């Protein structure tokens, strides 16, 4: 084993392949990309160190991210606003740190939170040797094993992402980590990287770049939560913790046509995508101002909260879903949505954003305050 080159040593302990056999051509006769061509033709994608490291497969058939699709700007790089340009990623670790090639000359590690690029070497052997020098840390082997023992194996399309980002003081404790789709993990952190990339150490960071609906004088904030919500069937629910409702045809039709629906204790919100979307739940003592500039679609409905706890999810009542404590009573709910013009043709990628404002008010039927004038991409 010791006479093997580092890349062969890495492959000897790998689980592979992730894709079907392929004759790959990345357009280079020398350099790291030529080495990658040879590697994937030999072994089309693999995991190492108990899936602490993942190398992408090429071609449509396979498990986990596909090499070409992963490197398309619309998949996740566009959320980094140029900070990921010139980087061809061929793999990632358990936390989404990218292994990439710059200009077919250098292999680097790309930090998804800061967009910093740490040089490793001039080729894939250098990369493999770097991993093999410290598998527990650089290959995330120790943590991958512990996570799998506690929570089971990740899906090939998943990575771990911290609830409180590592650069913001977040820890590697299980309580601070969740498994999410790998693309979503990158897209969530792109705006953060834009914000902090050039800041000196110790600088204060304001993460909320979207302008919140303006509050009226004297209004108090009663509760606030920033959430990542899985919008199954292009929708999610804002509801009382004790409410239970099974969607019917009328409910679905209202979400498709108006992007708002309501039943006792439940409001349905239509979304532009059918994947995880960012949602802010903002509970106030007074109604916000009627200023809809910068928002694509604005709707309103009534919501009765019997238990004093709000769930934002899609028919998920498990203990893993956050509960937001609010005063019991009747509320008006206004849903502000934006980013509809960024949705990809397949309805899976984009920068849509949803801000739900609740304030004490009478129960009313759902209606549209500002309609989005264009048809949305199919979801």
Picking from 330, 338, 333, 329, the residue whose alpha carbon sits closest to that of residue 367 is: 333
Picking from 204, 166, 197, the residue whose alpha carbon sits closest to that of residue 84 is: 197
Residue 210 has pLDDT above 90, yes or no: no
Instruction: Say what the pLDDT of residue 233 is.
Output: 84
Answer for the pair 201, 269: CB distance below 8 angstroms, yes or no.
no
Sign of CA dihedral 69, 70, 71, 73: positive
Alpha carbon separation from 23 to 19, 247, 259 (Å, rounded): 12, 48, 46
Specify which residues 161 forms β-bridges with.
Answer: 178
Q: What is the dihedral of CA 303, 306, 312, 314, to 10 degrees?
A: -90
Give the tens place of pLDDT for each residue, 160-181.
999 878 987 789 999 889 999 9
CA distance 78 to 351: 10
Residue 96 Rama label (left phi>0; alpha psi -120 to 50; beta)? left
Token representation of residue 258: 């108006």
Pick the more confident residue, 261 or 290. 261
Q: DSSP label at 151?
A: H
Across the chain, what does the average pLDDT equal? 90
Tell me which H or E stretch contains 333: strand 329-338
pLDDT band at 268 (very low <50, low <70, confident <90, very high): very high
Instruction: Say what the pLDDT of residue 84 is.
Output: 96
Token representation of residue 230: 């899985």
Cα angle: 87, vertex 142, 201; to 5 degrees: 50
Q: DSSP label at 233?
A: G
235: Cβ contacts below 8 Å, ≥ 6 apart: 255, 268, 269, 270, 271, 314
Give the tens place of pLDDT for each residue, 135-163.
999 999 999 999 999 999 999 999 999 98
Rounded to two decimals, what is the model's pTM? 0.59
Instruction: Say what the pLDDT of residue 200 is.
Output: 57
CA distance 30 to 217: 65
Give the chain's domains with CATH numbers.
Answer: 1-199 (no CATH), 221-370 (2.60.34.30)
CA distance 154 to 178: 10
Picking from 249, 250, 248, 270, the residue whose alpha carbon sits closest to that of residue 260 is: 270
CA distance 185 to 163: 11
Specify which residues 357 forms β-bridges with.
Answer: 282, 334
Percent of the chain whose pLDDT exceeds 70: 94
Instruction: Say what the pLDDT of residue 201 is.
Output: 58
29-38, 204-213, 272-281, 291-300: segment of lowest average pLDDT: 204-213
Residue 236 has pLDDT above 70, yes or no: yes
Mean pLDDT of 85-91: 97
CA distance 37 to 349: 28
pLDDT band at 57 (very low <50, low <70, confident <90, very high): very high
Instruction: Say what the pLDDT of residue 194 is.
Output: 80
Cα angle: 144, vertex 149, 150; to 5 degrees: 100
Instruction: Say what the pLDDT of residue 196 is.
Output: 75
Picking from 310, 284, 308, the residue whose alpha carbon sits closest to that of residue 223 is: 284
């Amino acid at each position: 084993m010791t006479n093997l080159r580092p890349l062969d040593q890495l492959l000897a302990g790998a689980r592979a392949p992730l894709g079907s056999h392929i004759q790959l051509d990345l357009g280079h006769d020398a350099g790291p990309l030529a080495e990658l061509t040879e590697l994937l033709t030999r072994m089309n994608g693999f995991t190492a160190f108990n899936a602490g490291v993942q190398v992408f497969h090429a071609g449509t058939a396979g498990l986990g991210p596909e090499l070409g699709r992963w490197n398309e700007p619309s998949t996740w790089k566009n959320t980094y606003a140029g900070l990921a340009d010139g980087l061809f990623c061929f793999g990632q670790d358990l936390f989404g740190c990218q292994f990439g090639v710059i200009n077919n000359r250098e292999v680097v590690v790309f930090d998804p939170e800061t967009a910093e690029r740490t040089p490793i070497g001039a080729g894939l052997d250098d990369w493999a040797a770097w991993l093999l020098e410290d598998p527990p840390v650089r290959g995330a082997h120790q943590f991958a094993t512990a996570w799998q023992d506690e929570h089971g194996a990740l899906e090939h399309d998943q990575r771990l992402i911290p609830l409180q980002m590592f650069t913001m003081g977040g820890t590697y404790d299980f309580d601070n980590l969740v498994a999410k789709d790998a693309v979503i993990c990158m897209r969530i952190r792109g705006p953060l990287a834009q914000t902090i990339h050039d800041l000196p150490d110790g600088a204060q960071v304001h993460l909320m770049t979207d302008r919140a609906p303006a509050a009226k004088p004297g209004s108090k904030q009663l509760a606030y939560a920033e959430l990542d919500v899985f919008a199954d069937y292009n929708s999610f629910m804002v509801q009382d913790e004790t409410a239970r409702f099974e969607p019917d045809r009328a409910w679905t039709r209202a979400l498709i046509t108006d992007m708002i629906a309501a039943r006792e204790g439940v409001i349905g919100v239509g979304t532009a995508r059918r994947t995880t979307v960012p949602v802010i739940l903002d509970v106030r003592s007074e109604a916000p101002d009627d200023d809809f500039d910068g928002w694509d679609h604005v709707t309103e409905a009534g919501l009765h909260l019997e238990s004093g706890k709000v769930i934002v999810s899609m028919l998920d009542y498990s203990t893993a879903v956050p509960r937001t404590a609010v005063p019991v009573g009747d509320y008006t709910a206004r849903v502000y949505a934006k980013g509809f013009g960024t949705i990809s043709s397949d309805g899976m990628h984009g920068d849509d954003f949803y801000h739900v404002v609740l304030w004490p008010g009478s129960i009313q039927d759902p209606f549209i305050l500002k309609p989005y004038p264009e048809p949305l991409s199919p979801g």
